Amino acid sequence: MYQIVVTLLFCKVNNLTFNEFDFHKDLLKGVKIAGFKEPSPIQETVIPIINNGEDLVGQAHTGTGKTAAFGLPMMNKIAKKEIERALVITPTRELATQVSDELYHLGRFCGIRTITVYGGVGYGRQIALINKGVQVVVATPGRLKDLYKKGKIDSFNPEIVILDEADEMLDMGFLEEIKEIFEYIPQNRQTLLFSATMPEPIKELASEILTNPQFISVVGQDESTTNNVIKQRYYVINESQRDEAIVKLLETEKTNKSIIFCRMKREVDRLTEHLLAMGFNAAGLHGDLEQSDRESIVKAYRRGETKIMVATDVAARGLDVKNVTHVFNFHIPFDPQSYVHRIGRTGRAGKAGKAITLVSTEEFRELQRIQKEVGAEMRLATIELKDNSVEDNIDFDTLEKMVRDTYIHEEAVNFIDSMEDMDYHEFVERVVSLLFQEKKRVNGQIGYDLDAVNSMLESYQDEQKVARQNNRKRKKR
């Protein structure tokens, strides 16, 4: 499938400068103003290949400079009149906007026009600009497929096509849309595919849409999944400690910008409200927000006006923001690949970052599976609280705030149902009395220590052993 395989570490291959790529002088002006001094490893390696017109598969984490890696040679071809049109396909509106902005700033002195094409807004302006001959189209798969299918952009025949964050498109279910889009694009094109990971469906897609591609990777042997400049740790907690744990971590960690990942949109809203009530500078991001609201939230976060972004996986996909020092997994992700993408928001361009995961005792086995599949070194930790001897009295104001801020868990509803034989008013009085009886902390920390976690591991291993034995018995029958 692949013509050449090259694996690189995060280091310089040669001491090249951008002047040595034979770029158009106006493009070099944009590079200089952007502050680019030396090409990154992926830029240094793939730019000559793209300049030569070859197809390419590039494996690199977000934040390694891959937008400029494909954008500069692409715009150089346009500036030198070698090609007229180019297409970049990205999985999300946020990433499409970011890529379009970066390409505009790099190519503005060449007079190169770009347009961002995505759903949720009217078709008219997008169709008009494409048909008027805008040189670079940055699009999401859904809207682009619709435009091609309805015959609205038949005159748009890009000579170079880039798939950015291909594995994200796979995760979001866009693979069939991508294949359909390529049925409308001329065969005599140059095709580039970039992805942080290389699952089998992406390799199969590359074999279908690329011709004798070169394979370039800036993922070294020790960081084939998670970046080794990211320090990863986790806390095994009780479900009821989750809110307190994230607050304590935000108070004690030296964060610049941070992202907190939640599984559900409603959890994003609830946690954002809780953090705002606690005095943190936070904003929530998920797919139910209006596009204009999402854009303003992302811009405020990028400018540093917002310090904490609470987001779902889908909303944060493709989010490329500098100086994110911490990623917090408020809930463990559904799969190992999501974990890789989540923590990849920090530790970019060789900078150090931290990834911190909160995991309940019920989720611990799932964390083990993720740890095994991604090959990550995760350190167990606990959060130390104040001295046990200090009484922590609960007054009426504190209790009221605790009640109003507390998330209602399904277990609580089930427990109340099980107590239906008790008078409801009496039940509430007894529960409140329990709170007032708690004069001081039972433990001086949040999270289970190594001995407790090892005990859990032994218990899980025993359960697995019994399950295997029972399976063998059933098979014999």
What are the tens digits of pLDDT across the range 207-263? 999 999 999 887 654 444 555 578 999 999 988 889 999 999 999 998 989 999 998
According to DSSP, the residues that pair with 18 across neighbouring strands are none
pLDDT computed for residue 393 by the predictor: 56
CA quadruple 332, 338, 340, 346: dihedral, nearest 10: -80
Would 4-223 and 230-387 be classified into the same CATH topology? yes
Banded pLDDT at 358 (limits 50, 70, 90): very high
Both structure tokens of 227: 């970046």
Examine the pLDDT at 398 and tell me if it is beyond 80. Answer: no
Long-range contacts, 359-364 (Cβ 8 Å, 24+): 359/234, 359/235, 359/236, 359/237, 359/332, 360/236, 360/237, 360/238, 360/239, 360/242, 361/236, 361/237, 361/238, 361/448, 361/456, 362/239, 363/332, 364/236, 364/453, 364/456, 364/460
Neighbouring C-alpha atoms within 13 Å toward the C-beta of 337: 15
Amino acid 17 reads: T
Examine the pLDDT at 90 and tell me if it is beyond 60. Answer: yes
pLDDT computed for residue 395 by the predictor: 65
383-384 and 445-446 strand pairing:
antiparallel
Examine the pLDDT at 205 and tell me if it is beyond 70. Answer: yes
Both structure tokens of 214: 């070169």
Examine the pLDDT at 143 and tell me if it is beyond 60. Answer: yes
Tell me the per-residue pLDDT of 268-287, one tens digit each, with 9 for 90 and over.
Answer: 999 999 999 999 999 999 87
Buried b (16+ CB within 10 A) or exposed e, 301-335: bbeeebbbbbbbbbbbbbbbbeebbbbbbbbbbee
Tell me the per-residue pLDDT of 177-190, one tens digit each, with 9 for 90 and over.
Answer: 999 999 999 889 99
Q: At what angle do helices 265-277 and 242-252 cross, to 10 degrees?
A: 50
Examine the pLDDT at 111 and tell me if it is beyond 70. Answer: yes
Contact 329, 374 (CB under 8 A): no
According to DSSP, the residues that pair with 35 across neighbouring strands are none
> What would be the CATH architecture of the domain defined by 230-387?
3-Layer(aba) Sandwich (3.40)
Distances (CA, A) of 57 to 5, 60, 368: 10, 10, 31
Tell me the per-residue pLDDT of 405-422, one tens digit each, with 9 for 90 and over.
Answer: 676 777 777 788 888 888
Please report the sign of the dihedral spanned by the C-alpha atoms of residue 373, residue 374, residue 375, residue 381: negative
Q: At what angle do helices 25-33 and 66-79 cross, to 10 degrees?
A: 150
pLDDT computed for residue 456 by the predictor: 75
Please, what is the average pLDDT of the chain?
A: 83
Banded pLDDT at 349 (limits 50, 70, 90): low
Q: What's the rounded Cα separation, in Å, for the pair 338 and 325? A: 19
Q: Range with the lowest mean pLDDT among 53-62, 175-184, 333-342, 438-447?
A: 438-447
Share of the chain above pLDDT 70, in %: 83
pLDDT computed for residue 263 by the predictor: 85
Strand order in the sheet with 56-59: 4-7, 214-217, 56-59, 190-195, 160-163, 86-89, 136-139, 114-117
DSSP 187-222: SSSEEEEEESS--HHHHHHHHHH-SS-EEEE---GG
pLDDT computed for residue 103 by the predictor: 92
Examine the pLDDT at 474 and tell me if it is beyond 70. Answer: no
pLDDT computed for residue 165 by the predictor: 87
pLDDT computed for residue 274 by the predictor: 94
Q: Determine the average pLDDT of the residues in 286-313.
A: 88
pLDDT computed for residue 221 by the predictor: 42
- Residue of 84, 86, 75, 56 whose CA lies nearest to 18: 75
Q: Which residue has the tokens 């400049």?
A: 229
Task: List helix spans (H) across 80-232.
Answer: 93-107, 124-131, 141-149, 166-171, 175-184, 200-209
Contact 352, 326 (CB under 8 A): no
| Helices and strands, counts by H and E, the chain | 19, 17
Question: Using alpha carbons only, how large is the chain's radius of gyration in Å?
Answer: 26
pLDDT computed for residue 305 by the predictor: 93
pLDDT computed for residue 257 by the predictor: 92
Collect all residues with Cβ–Cβ distance below 8 Å to 374 and sequence separation of at least 6.
225, 226, 336, 339, 340
Q: What's the rounded Cα separation, in Å, for the pair 44 and 10? A: 12
Buried b (16+ CB within 10 A) or exposed e, 211-237: eebbbbbbbeeebebbbeebbbebbbb
In the chain, where the domains are located? 4-223, 230-387, 396-437
Task: Write out the H or E segment, with its range, that includes residue 242.
Answer: helix 242-252
Q: Determine the average pLDDT of the residues in 110-124.
A: 91
Contact 380, 450 (CB under 8 A): yes
Q: Determine the average pLDDT of the residues in 145-164.
A: 94
* CATH fold of 4-223: Rossmann fold (3.40.50)
Share of the chain above pLDDT 90, in %: 42
Q: What's the rounded Cα separation, in Å, for the pair 143 and 130? A: 13
Examine the pLDDT at 319 and tell me if it is beyond 80. Answer: no
460 vs 123: which has the higher pLDDT: 123
Banded pLDDT at 11 (limits 50, 70, 90): very low
pLDDT computed for residue 265 by the predictor: 87
Both structure tokens of 109: 């002195």
403 vs 61: which has the higher pLDDT: 403
Identify the top-confidence range among 54-63, 425-434, 466-475.
54-63
